[in-house]
Chains A and B, each alone.
Chain A
Amino acid sequence: MAEDHHIARMAALALGLSVLEAAIPSPLPGVKPGLANIVTLIVLARYGWRTAVWVSLLRVLAGGLLFGNFLAPGFFLSLGGALCSLAMLAASQHLPQRWFGPVTHSILAAFAHIAGQLLLVYFWLIPHTGLLYLVPVFAVAALLFGTVNGLIAAHFLSEPDTDLAKAYILKTH
């Protein structure tokens, strides 16, 4: 029960970050920082992969309802990206922690996210090879935002305070 509340709180925090970044203009649909993934990374490191799956999928579902694109293409793109990221994290979490930190998980998940979304777009929405021209742009975005989000997650993980929401509020005030 306490764990359910915890998952809900983390998902709500992730959702808040999704809403926040929806206000940031993007040069290309699909290129956005993915700030909500910082929460997923922290949850992964502190509470394990299963909890991260819950938080991530709840965020996608609630985000779909909140943004009004539930079961629309945008929702399935979010879901596809999240599922690919989580699959990648399932593998990358077994990398030795001594050498691989949140930045590794973040970059790998960002690449998996964009790869999943591009495949979904190609096979479902736009079956045109012109899409290939956009792949390097998305790769640069994945690398950049993956690194930055990983660093932010690493920063929070180095804080002694285990209550993420509290830490977040303290940081912003």
Chain B
Amino acid sequence: MHSPLAYLKAGDYLILVSGCLLTVFLALTLWQGGAADKAIIRSGGKIFREVPLSRDQLIAVPGPLGISRISIHNRQARIAADPSPRQYCVRQGWLKQAGEIAVCLPNQVSIELSGGNKRYDSLNY
């Protein structure tokens, strides 16, 4: 049984190091995330309001079950209260980065953070 290093040739080290660099590069570019600058609030599928994250505020959004309360604080946004039975969107907590989204399905309210460079105009399934 040889040491594993005995099987590596000079070119193998080159490829190994290149692979590490590529991986680090991918992580740095793909994980930095866009800084979010505004929140898009939807109710019943239609845009209810678009608000900048720069100003702290509380917004009440009406839905079929009642009022969802959205809180904007310290450049973050969350659903602070919602009448939905399982409270998934509330438990999701603070949204920080562009592209993050919290959806309260029963009350048809959603909040999405959007950054300066949105990569697509629309998605359909």
> Which of A's residues lie within 8 Å of B, judged by CB?
95-96, 98-104, 107-108, 111, 127-130, 132-133, 135-136, 139-140, 142-143, 146-147, 150-151, 154-155, 158
6 contacting pairs across A/B (C-beta < 8 A): A95-B11, A99-B9, A101-B11, A103-B8, A143-B16, A158-B2
CA of A143 to CA of B15, assembled, Å? 10
- B4, B7, B22, B120 — which one has the most chain A CB atoms within 10 A of its CB? B7
Which residues in window 1-26 of B have CB below 8 A to A? Answer: 2, 4, 7-12, 14-16, 19-20, 22-23, 26
| A133 CB, nearest partner CB in chain B, Å | 6
CA of A100 to CA of B11, assembled, Å? 5
State whether the Cβ of B46 lies closer than 8 Å to any Cβ in chain A.
no
User: Are A155 and B7 in contact, with the CB atoms below 8 A?
Assistant: yes
Known: A99-B9, A139-B27, A158-B7. 5 other contacts (CB 8 A): A95-B11, A100-B15, A128-B123, A143-B23, A158-B2
Mark interface residues in B106-125 (1 if CB within 8 Å of A CB, else 0).
Answer: 00000000000001100100
